[in-house]
């Protein structure tokens, strides 16, 4: 991030001394450092916000999966989803159809990361 420190002529018309020019240069460098610190703080805050949003997205996605596998006589049922990135677009569920029947739902959204998971 860069900027311009503009200083006009003195009302007296006299030139600025070397000491005054050094002071203005130092003032400009201090202002530049303050602007850069502000930019870095904003980037850090944005990263923290994104991290919080991803955590919420992971929790929401985990909440969409069934809490435990169904009990089905004669079968051992298990499932697991491991997203490639922070969150994924995959889903599964079991749907009891009555009697000894069970439907398994498997969904895969193309793509990786947050957009497919949304």
Higher pLDDT, 107 or 3: 107
Query: Which of 107, 103, 57 lies closest to 81, judged by CA?
Result: 107
- What's this model's pTM, rounded to 2 decimal places? 0.60
Other Cβ atoms less than 10 A from the Cβ of 113: the count is 16
Across all residues in the chain, what is the average pLDDT? 86
Q: What are the backbone angles phi and psi of residue 11, rounded to the nearest 5°?
A: -65, -25
Confidence of residue 113 (pLDDT cuts 50, 70, 90): low
Return all residues near 105 (Cβ < 8 A) that are at least 6 apart: 91, 92, 93, 94, 95
């Amino acid at each position: 991030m860069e900027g311009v420190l503009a200083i006009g002529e003195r009302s007296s018309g006299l030139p600025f001394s070397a000491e005054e020019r050094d002071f203005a240069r130092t003032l400009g460098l201090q202002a530049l450092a303050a602007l850069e610190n502000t930019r870095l703080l904003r980037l850090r805050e944005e990263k923290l916000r994104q991290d919080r949003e991803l955590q919420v997205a992971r929790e929401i996605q985990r909440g969409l999966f069934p809490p435990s596998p169904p009990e089905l006589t004669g079968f051992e049922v298990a499932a697991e989803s491991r997203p490639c990135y922070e969150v994924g677009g995959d889903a599964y569920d079991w749907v009891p159809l009555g009697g000894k029947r069970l439907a398994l739902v498997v969904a895969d959204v193309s793509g990786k990361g947050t957009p497919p998971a949304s």
